[in-house]
Amino acid sequence: MRASVTANRDYGIAKIDSRLYGAFLEHLGRAIYTGIYEPDHKSADANGMRKDVIELVRELKVPIVRYPGGNFVSAYNWEDGVGPRKARPTRLDLAWHTSESNAVGVHEFAQWSEAAGAEMMLAINLGSRGLDEARNFVEYVNGPTGSAWGDLRKKHGRSEPFAVRHWCLGNEMDGPWQVGHKTADEYGRLANEVAKTLRAFDRSLELIVCGSSNSDMKSYPEWERIVLEHTYDAIDHISLHMYFANRGKNTAEYLALNAKLDAYIGAIASTIEFVRARKRSRKRVTISFDEWNVWYHSNVQDREILGGAKGWPHAPRLLEDIYNFEDALQVGCILNTFIRRSDVVKIACIAQLVNVIAPIMTEPGGAAWRQTIFYPYYFASAYGRGEALQLSVKSPGYDSEVADNVPYLDIAGVHDEAGKTLTFFAVNRHGGETLDLDVDLQGFAAARVMDHQVMTSADLEAVNTLKKPMTVAPKAGSGAEVKDERLTARLPRHSYQMIRLALA
């Protein structure tokens, strides 16, 4: 089976924003406690943060991390997480039916973010709280000393402002499950007033308003239109969320789901343009896809805790999906979609980063290891910086429930002019045949293969575990070559590949 691609140096989509490879940490399960924070761990730094986890996050080159939620934030009092630890209250978290010690708050997260080399994106509670609490939080984090909130931050050990630029105005406010759920008009009006108030404090902030929790919501995409009608002139991004599952154990249908993702992004991009035209605005709002990942493996085992049968445990094992090789293929397809839609998607956050539906897992008191999905995320983040190319792709395909003629080849290309590289990320969706790939390199003279990494497995359900952390891992590829300005390679069935070319 053959697939041909044309990559023209002059046909670019957009410069990829580094924030496209962001991540998310919520006070949920073991994401924070025994995830990033474990003061008794042998690798813990002076702040109690696991250095083994920090090293893996730095390996991923995560540019920005959204915190502290998620559903958790919609009943969160930020004041509980500041000041002396001994004085911080334990609260019951209604979102995940657990207890929260508040041992980690904004100061501790800031210390961790600095150590991990990531920028903070903070979420504001617009579920159970409102405008005053929002502005007070922002002033506490970013305000100068000499004011009440700045002086309180100084009293708590931090004189200089944290200078957090990105602020999420609530979380999934369209969802009936959300504490403080609102209609689009109710939320849009509140978010606009909060945004205006925060702009009065600092006009340089980047503000993210809530879009749909997923594209199956009954309110989608009318929710986005109404919310943007209220907030367009006051905000910078609208958030979208989507999770991926293979409950039917149908690999072909599962690996076609990024076609649904692409349609979702397209619909909201059109909605943004519609509102922009109605408002006669020159401003361009973009998308923050700040929750995405595979999530379904742990659903059954989580029911007891989420249903309240275990009381209010602190940092239990929740949403600990153990990812298989098939999921690595899915994550590769998702990231390719974000690269191809980088003209409108400027921020994206894999949900989550550690233990909770995450690429990194830890054992309390023990090791940290890479899940299967770590690798396509790593390759995209490390080498998917530059300009996304508009590739012309000709590939055999198949019809699925979410789209017709889904190509067996899913591919994205990134040209890094400064680094003189051209990188392709390719997935062969076909479960039975090898794809012979032929790429016409137009305008990329004297290219040569400098790195070729391949992920394959005879078992789609193969996983990495504490005892066997390298069952699924990339290996150096062979056979990819450039001759007469054409790249050729063979993509085994159900495989992921990263092919990096050096340019003259």
Q: In the chain, what is the greatest distance between 2 CA atoms, to the nearest angstrom? A: 69
User: Cβ neighbours of residue 411 under 8 Å, at least 6 residues apart?
Assistant: 5, 336, 391, 393, 424, 425, 426, 427
Cα(282)–Cα(262) distance, rounded to whole angstroms?
25
Q: Annotated catalytic, 172?
A: yes
DSSP state of 471: S
**Residue among 159, 158, 168, 156 nearest 195 (CA):** 168
> 65, 118 in Cβ contact below 8 A?
yes
Q: Annotated catalytic, 222?
A: no
DSSP code per residue over 203-237: TT-EEEEE--S-TT-TTTTHHHHHHHHHHGGG-SE
Give, for 439, the enclosing helix (H) or strand (E).
strand 435-442
Cα(427)–Cα(379) distance, rounded to whole angstroms?
13
Residue/partner pairs of 466-469 with CB below 8 Å, 24 or more apart: 466/361, 466/363, 466/366, 466/367, 466/369, 469/367, 469/369, 469/370
> 362, 354 in Cβ contact below 8 A?
yes
| Residue 397 phi, psi (nearest 5) | -145, -175
User: Cβ neighbours of residue 307 under 8 Å, at least 6 residues apart?
Assistant: 97
Cα(160)–Cα(145) distance, rounded to whole angstroms?
8
If you count DSSP H runs as helices and E runs as strands, how many of each does the chain have, helices first?
Answer: 11, 26
Marked catalytic residue, from 26, 139, 224, 291: 291
Marked catalytic residue, from 38, 108, 139, 172: 172
Kindly list the catalytic residues: 172, 291
